[in-house]
Structure 1
Amino acid sequence: MTSLERDTRQDIVDVAERFFRQIGYQKTTVADIAKSLRMSPANVYRFFDSKKAINEAVAERSMGELEALVTAIAAEKRPAAERLREILTTTCRLNSARYLDNQRLHEMVACAMEESWDVIRAHVERYDAILRGVVADGMAKGEFTAGDARTATYCVRAAMIRFCNPLLLTQCGALPGPGVDEMIDFVLAGLGYRAAAG
């Protein structure tokens, strides 16, 4: 793929995301995107074979931004518990900022989950790998009780899902329950972490 082709793909994704935010995924057409870019719908289809493929690209970019942030946190030279807390807090904060007050982005995510589950599953697998690295490091250094890092990671994600999943953020927002920090404390306790005295 040439740099011009990459730039054109990027322009299509940029415009699509703008339309998804402004009028919603369902109302956005490939013709809308093409018109905004002063190209024909057929030209858009040269780069993406369907509107679903455009949605996947928008969703992948959004998820990639989160993955880059948490990867950087995971690589820091700090105790695993601090890194895990920041990863979970950052994930919750970013998803809340993106999706809690934007029903149209919720719609896009819902469509991605219904139409493009492979894209979502791949993101979850990459995110889990980042978490697992931190959990395993904490176990290896004695911060967390030794055990199976893979299972522990699944438990961490399951415990935090209502605070991180874009769809559950609104569906569960009014339900009684712990706050994000309380839930992270619970997760750390479940991993066998005990804060150092003093």
Structure 2
Amino acid sequence: MPPTTETLTAERILEATEEVLRRHGPAKATVVDVARALGVSHGSVYRHFRTKAALREAVTKRWLDRTSDALAGIAAEQRDPEARLRDWLRGLFEAKRRKAGDDPELFATYSVLTGENGAAVGEHIDDLTGQLTRIVRDGVTAGVFTAADPAVAARALFHATGRFHDPGHAREWKRPAIEEEFEAVLELVLGGLRTRQHPVTSGVRSRPR
């Protein structure tokens, strides 16, 4: 095992773990494989992550956080809430579809890992619905949306659009009609949120983010 000259950090371990998962898949990837890729002993890895399960949960969380971190900027913007909501939901769909299409092996691996790590998935969903809640609440304050409880409405939005972000539907995302179907669902859920006085915002597709 060649000696490592870089300081071993949790982030370096997670990067190496992702590469090991890509090469070997979740069933065969081990802590020893990760340590070998880093040029350290497996004990060094365990000093950062006490168990294999903790390491797998951390790398799963890191993968999920890439999506929620990318969407957080849209949720925090100070502009028309309906436009933000459109961009956020499109952004979520595009992020998930990109992951499934650009690296299908790693996507399949993480689909297995998310099934093992319910806590990480739960935190991810809470983060995403929290962002949605912020947008809906801003819309209610601005008189654009009507919702008795923005948090409840946000959860409903998340579940109503699940076909376009739940990994279980990934095979459908390559279908030619998927964009049209997404837009139809988007218009339906937005129509349910709008106040009667608020005019329909243009459905023209926003600049990709």
Which category describes the TM-score, using the shorter chain as reference length?
0.7 to 0.9
User: Which residue of structure 2 aligns with residue 41 of structure 1?
Assistant: 42
Q: Is the 8 A contact 1:83 1:134 kept in 2?
A: yes
Change (3 A) 1:62 1:56: same
Task: Name the aligned partner's letter for residue 88 of structure 2.
Answer: I
How many residues align? The count is 193
Secondary structure of 2:27's counterpart equals coil
Q: What's the C-alpha RMSD, in Å, of the aligned pairs?
A: 2.4
User: Which residue of structure 2 aligns with residue 66 of structure 1?
Assistant: 67
User: Which residue of structure 1 aligns with residue 100 of structure 2?
Assistant: 99
Secondary structure of 1:179's counterpart equals helix
How far apart in 2 are the matches of 1:98 and 1:86?
18
User: Which residue of structure 1 aligns with residue 181 of structure 2?
Assistant: 179
How far apart in 1 are the matches of 2:168 and 2:42?
31
In the TM superposition, residue 186 of structure 1 has moved relative to its aligned partner by: 1.5
User: Which residue of structure 1 aligns with residue 112 of structure 2?
Assistant: 111
How far apart in 2 are the matches of 1:140 and 1:101?
39
User: Which residue of structure 2 aligns with residue 195 of structure 1?
Assistant: 200
Task: Name the aligned partner's letter for residue 151 of structure 2.
Answer: R
Change (3 A) 1:40 1:32: same
Q: 1:53 aligned to 2:54?
A: yes
In the TM superposition, residue 89 of structure 1 has moved relative to its aligned partner by: 0.7
How far apart in 1 are the matches of 2:52 and 2:181?
37
How far apart in 1 are the matches of 2:46 and 2:172?
35
**Deviation sequence 1:15-47 (CA, Å, 0-9, x none):** 111122233222211111111111111221111
Q: 1:27 aligned to 2:28?
A: yes
Structure 2 unmatched runs, 5+: 1-5, 203-209
How far apart in 2 are the matches of 1:171 and 1:27?
28
Secondary structure of 1:23's counterpart equals helix
In the TM superposition, residue 104 of structure 1 has moved relative to its aligned partner by: 2.9
TM-score, reference length from structure 1: 0.86
How far apart in 2 are the matches of 1:112 and 1:18?
14
> Could you tell me the percent identity over the aligned residues?
28
Please identify, of 80-89 and 43-52, the stretch whose mean Cα deviation from structure 2 is larger.
43-52
Please identify, of 154-163 and 66-75, the stretch whose mean Cα deviation from structure 2 is larger.
66-75
Q: 1:168 aligned to 2:169?
A: yes
Change (3 A) 1:105 1:47: same
TM-score, reference length from structure 2: 0.81
Change (3 A) 1:112 1:196: closer
Change (3 A) 1:158 1:31: same
**Deviation sequence 1:49-94 (CA, Å, 0-9, x none):** 2222222222211222222221111111211011011111111111
Secondary structure of 2:28's counterpart equals coil
User: Which residue of structure 1 aligns with residue 205 of structure 2?
Assistant: none
Secondary structure of 1:84's counterpart equals helix
Task: Name the aligned partner's letter for residue 28 of structure 2.
Answer: K
How far apart in 2 are the matches of 1:98 and 1:133?
26
How far apart in 2 are the matches of 1:50 and 1:56?
10
